[in-house]
């Protein structure tokens, strides 16, 4: 018998039938994407004359694991703004108007982010958009926002080297995450670092910057390995780590790769006391998913940890758990997704008070320089480069899956979008008012660390 499957592929299937079936297949996948796209579980129903704001996070696909919780944090902030609770106590909405979220789901597909952002802008006519997690998705929507001159609030630590007039970056720039953690590693663990990451823009760029920092500090990269997004098999990379015998591992793995890597590393007999992991994207959420025992003794560098001791953070954690369940944890990206919504709301409030319209140019100018008492401490949008003054912290994970903060700056650090290890002295200054010309300025000088003065 020539097996049936061959017949099926070669003989039994005419071109016409193939076309029929394949178009059916394509159609059904489009249908699936569309139905999931209109799903907005948990979002309040739209009101008559609210302010339309797009919310662009995937709730299906590989990245859904992270982006769903960003969406949750955004929902919490919008609910507080509309109901006048939490940090918005004593007010109600934006001068009486509700924020109406238009929630779309790009299904972890970079192309869909592009299409959905067009849809949000052209069809739903949103005022601005909150969203995106991976750099790949940001790069995918960036041309849309720049071409149509709309604003994106982007809540994620990223590799830097970008300074658009159409994006407010409320996550960490390289100097707020990488530049403090690498000297810490050299000092406390040793000079030999093994770099791993998921195979896309952010981990590669981030590792490139970290490598420059490490070499500047007299260290050495003994390995540089990448795994495809979503990989959960790390046996080979772990073997290479064993062979290279580094003093520490720098991990830029994201999503479901993180628990798999930490578990398999311990399973292979490498303990945190021998070779600690310093990670950027590993947060409370992933630690909970892998079981705290696997992360105990490893480190993460972040602006915010759930264990940060401020009254704002206590309230945030409490309110988040009350809305989404007591077993949920908060993390740095969620915190940024939360406070950036208030940056946007404060800007809108300012415009409403001045009687101005919510045009892109007006919102942009109003958002510049906004200050907010976030859970991590007081943060501010830098009026020059649209990134955010943030704290820089390093946490050591304990047996409960919470971070013991072993390093923290005294105040929020001024963001520098360009990696100073790669582009010395390059900064970014948007004109006031912003005419959307190239903001890059070369100072060719060593930039001092500046802190936020309140």
Partner 1 sequence: MSVCALQIGSSLVSSLIDLAQTAPAEPKAAFSMIAFANQLLNGVGIVGILLLTGLGLAITFGVMRIINLAHGEFIMLGAYVSFVLQSAFKMDLLLTIPFAFLFTALVGAVVELTIIRRLYGRPLETLLATWGLSIVMQGIVKLIFTAQLKYVKAPPYIRGNLTVFGSGEQAVEISYYRLFIVVVALLLLALTAFLLYKTSLGREVRAVTQSREMAKCLGVNTSLIDMATFAYGCGLAGIAGSVISSLKSVAPPMGQDYLVDAWMTVVAGGVDKLVGVLAGAALIGESKAAIAFLLDDPAARVIVLAALIILIRYRPEGLFTIQKRA
Which spans of this chain sit near partner 1 (rule: CB under 8 A)? 1-6, 8-9, 13, 17-18, 21-22, 24-25, 28, 32, 36, 59-62, 64-65, 68-69, 199, 204, 221-222, 224-228, 230-233, 235-237, 239-240, 242-245, 256-260, 263-264, 267-269, 285-286, 288-291
- Nearest Cα to 402, choosing from 251, 295, 281? 295
CB of 115: closest distance to partner 1 in angstroms?
18
**Toward partner 1, which CB reaches closer, 245 or 359?**
245
CB of 159: closest distance to partner 1 in angstroms?
14
CB of 219: closest distance to partner 1 in angstroms?
15
**Toward partner 1, which CB reaches closer, 118 or 242?**
242
Q: Is the peptide bond before 377 cis (omega within 30 degrees of 0)?
A: no
**Toward partner 1, which CB reaches closer, 146 or 225?**
225
CB of 34: closest distance to partner 1 in angstroms?
13
What are the backbone dihedrals phi and psi of residue 154, each rounded to the nearest 5 degrees, phi first?
-115, 115
CB of 202: closest distance to partner 1 in angstroms?
13
**Toward partner 1, which CB reaches closer, 14 or 444?**
14
**Toward partner 1, which CB reaches closer, 240 or 350?**
240
- Nearest Cα to 303, choosing from 402, 176, 212, 425? 176
**Toward partner 1, which CB reaches closer, 92 or 263?**
263
CB of 383: closest distance to partner 1 in angstroms?
36
**Toward partner 1, which CB reaches closer, 5 or 48?**
5
CB-based contact 117:105 (threshold 8 Å)? no
CB of 192: closest distance to partner 1 in angstroms?
12
List residues bridging with 427 in a β-sheet.
Answer: 441
Residue 9, Ramachandran bin (φ over 0: left; ψ between -120 and 50: alpha; else beta): alpha
**Toward partner 1, which CB reaches closer, 287 or 366?**
287
**Could you write out the three-class secondary structure of the chain?**
CCCHHHHHHHHCCCHHHHHHHHHHHHHHHHHHHHHHHCCCCCCCCCCCCCEEEEEECCCCCCCHHHHHHHHHHHHHHHHHHHHCCHHHCCCCCECCECEEEEEECCCCCHHHHHHHHHHHHHCCCCCEEEECCCHHHHHHHHHHHHHHCCCEEECCCCCCCCCCCCEEECCCCHHHCHHHHHHHHHHHCCCEEEEEEECCHHHHHHHHHHHHHHHHCCCEEEEEEEECCCCCCCHHHHHHHHHHCCCEEEEECCCCHHHHHHHHHHHCCCCCCCCCEEECCCCHHHHHHHCHHHHCCCEEEECCCCCCCCHHHHHHHHHHHHHHCCCCCCCHHHHHHHHHHHHHHHHHHHHHHHCCCCCHHHHHHHHCCCEEEECCEEEEECCCCCCEEECCEEEEECCCCCEEEEEECCCCECCCCCCCCCCCCEEECCCCCCCCCCCEEECCCCCCCCECCC
CB of 20: closest distance to partner 1 in angstroms?
9
**Toward partner 1, which CB reaches closer, 199 or 434?**
199
| Number of neighbours of residue 83 by Cβ within 10 angstroms | 15
**Toward partner 1, which CB reaches closer, 35 or 432?**
35
CB of 227: closest distance to partner 1 in angstroms?
5
**Toward partner 1, which CB reaches closer, 28 or 89?**
28
CB of 43: closest distance to partner 1 in angstroms?
16
């Amino acid at each position: 018998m020539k097996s049936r499957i061959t017949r099926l592929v070669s003989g039994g299937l005419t071109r016409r039938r193939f076309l029929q079936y394949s178009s059916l297949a394509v159609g059904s996948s489009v249908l699936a994407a569309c139905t999931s796209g209109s799903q907005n579980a948990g979002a309040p129903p739209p009101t008559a004359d609210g302010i339309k704001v797009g919310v662009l996070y995937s709730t299906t696909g590989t990245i859904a694991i992270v982006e769903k919780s960003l969406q949750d944090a955004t929902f919490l902030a919008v609910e507080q703004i509309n109901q006048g609770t939490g940090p918005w106590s004593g007010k109600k909405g934006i001068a009486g108007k509700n924020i109406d979220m238009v929630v779309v789901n790009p299904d972890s597909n970079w192309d869909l982010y592009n299409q959905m952002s067009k849809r949000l802008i052209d069809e739903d006519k949103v005022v601005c958009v909150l969203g995106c997690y991976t750099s790949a998705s940001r790069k995918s929507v960036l041309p849309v926002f720049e071409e149509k001159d709309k604003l994106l609030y982007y809540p994620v630590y990223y590799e830097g080297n970008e300074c658009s007039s159409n994006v407010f970056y409320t996550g960490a720039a390289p100097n707020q995450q990488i530049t403090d953690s690498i000297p810490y590693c050299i000092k406390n663990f040793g000079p030999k670092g093994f770099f791993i990451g998921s195979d896309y823009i952010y981990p590669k760029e981030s590792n490139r910057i970290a490598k420059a920092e490490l070499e500047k500090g007299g260290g050495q990269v003994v390995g540089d390995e990448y795994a495809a997004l979503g990989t959960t098999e790390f046996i080979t990379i772990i073997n290479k780590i064993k062979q290279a015998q580094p003093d520490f591992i720098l991990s830029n793995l994201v999503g479901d790769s993180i628990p798999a890597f930490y578990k398999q590393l311990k399973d292979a007999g490498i303990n945190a006391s021998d070779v600690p992991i310093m990670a950027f994207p590993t947060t409370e959420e992933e630690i909970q998913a892998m079981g705290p025992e696997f992360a105990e003794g490893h480190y993460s560098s972040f602006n915010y940890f759930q264990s940060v001791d401020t009254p704002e953070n206590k309230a945030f954690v409490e309110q988040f758990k009350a809305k989404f369940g007591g077993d949920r944890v908060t993390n740095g990206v969620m915190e940024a997704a939360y406070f950036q919504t208030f940056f946007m709301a404060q800007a809108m409030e300012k415009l409403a008070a001045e009687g101005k319209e919510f045009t892109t140019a007006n919102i942009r100018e109003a958002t510049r320089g906004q200050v907010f008492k976030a859970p991590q401490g007081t943060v501010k949008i830098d009026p020059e480069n649209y990134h955010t003054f943030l704290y820089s912290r390093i946490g050591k994970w304990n047996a409960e899956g919470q971070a013991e903060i072993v390093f923290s700056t005294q105040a929020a650090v001024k963001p520098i979008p360009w990696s100073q290890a790669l582009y010395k002295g390059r900064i970014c200054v948007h004109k006031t008012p912003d005419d959307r010309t190239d903001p890059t300025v070369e100072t060719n000088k060593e930039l001092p660390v500046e802190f936020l003065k309140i």
